[in-house]
Amino acid sequence: MQIHKLCFLALLLLLAHTASAVNLNLKSSNIAFLGDAELGPAADGISRSGALSMTRDANPFSHGQGLWSLPVPFKPSSNSRSPYPFETSFTFSITPRTNPAPGHGLAFIVVPALDNSGAGPGGFLGILNKTNNGYPSNHVFAVEFDVFQDKHVGDINDNHVGVDINSVKSAVAEKAGYWVQTVIGKRRMWSFKEVKLSNGERYKAWIEYRNSKVTVTLAPEAVRKPKKPLIVAHVDLSDVFLQNMYTGFAGAMGRGIERHDIWSWTFQNSAKK
């Protein structure tokens, strides 16, 4: 087995309108840890695994958020209807510690504040709760990687990816997997490969937003970015995003124990620094 990097590193790129780019190294000092989020423990229980972890094994119904600690501009002004295009990619793993697979999942999130007091565990994924779920006043955008079927929030199965707008009831969801192109004779065919998100393996996800279109692409870490996304969602986020937002990750357990780990992260948008 490979020895994992001991230090959680990622890159936040805020691209200026000019060609110059700002690269920031993401270390624990750049992250706001809310709820149970922490730099995850290694197997020895003493050192750190290198992951940004959303949940803690010892806390039943654990949930947390790990957010870039500085606000990120998502629109040029508060009343603008033109959010900046952005793209982000990250690697993650979801590792059950109890049987049957306990849930519940993790998500890339964009939220209005460094405050998770309105977040709950289980199917709420550490993003929202029963009371506030679904309201436009939430100003929450998320892409969930959900490994438990919570029928009360409309989950399609226990292994899916969803685009969430102000609600953990996804606007669009697909079973987890990726598209591969194969050539049969002279014809190019797309075939779908399912993956099991909660098998402890590392996956990479790519999320892009541009011109009211969100694309989400997923693959095992060792696989190159598939040319065909898993999800293409036509959603206008101009009312969801405020001028400045916070971005990062959320995750939650239910009664059983499951790890929700982020291993690397890049984010970039076209905001002027």
Ligand X SMILES: *[C@@H]1O[C@H](CO)[C@@H](O)[C@H](O)[C@H]1NC(C)=O
Contacts with ligand X, residue ranges (CB under 6 A):
117-118, 120, 129-132
Amino acid at 267: F
Question: From the CB of 129, what's the least distance to ligand X, in Å?
Answer: 4
Complex with ligand X: residue 77 or 131, whichever CB lies closer: 131
Q: Indicate the burial class of 208 (C-beta count within 10 angstroms; 0-12, 13-18, 19 or more).
A: middle
Complex with ligand X: residue 115 or 221, whichever CB lies closer: 115
Biggest alpha carbon–alpha carbon distance for the chain? 57
Complex with ligand X: residue 135 or 190, whichever CB lies closer: 135
Complex with ligand X: residue 253 or 271, whichever CB lies closer: 253
Complex with ligand X: residue 105 or 120, whichever CB lies closer: 120
Please give the sequence-ordered ranges of beta strands (E in DSSP) within 99-230, or none if there are none. Answer: 104-111, 141-146, 160-165, 172-175, 177-184, 187-194, 202-210, 213-220
Question: From the CB of 98, what's the least distance to ligand X, in Å?
Answer: 24
Q: Indicate the burial class of 218 (C-beta count within 10 angstroms; 0-12, 13-18, 19 or more).
A: buried
The residue of the chain with the least Cβ separation from ligand X equals 118
Question: From the CB of 115, what's the least distance to ligand X, in Å?
Answer: 9
Phi and psi at residue 209, in whole multiples of 5°? -130, 130
Question: From the CB of 139, what's the least distance to ligand X, in Å?
Answer: 12
187 contacts: CB under 8 Å, gap ≥ 6: none
Question: From the CB of 20, what's the least distance to ligand X, in Å?
Answer: 39
Burial 84-112 (b: 16+ CB within 10 A, else e): bebbbbbbbbbebeeeebbbbbbbbbbbb
Question: From the CB of 124, what's the least distance to ligand X, in Å?
Answer: 9
Complex with ligand X: residue 130 or 152, whichever CB lies closer: 130
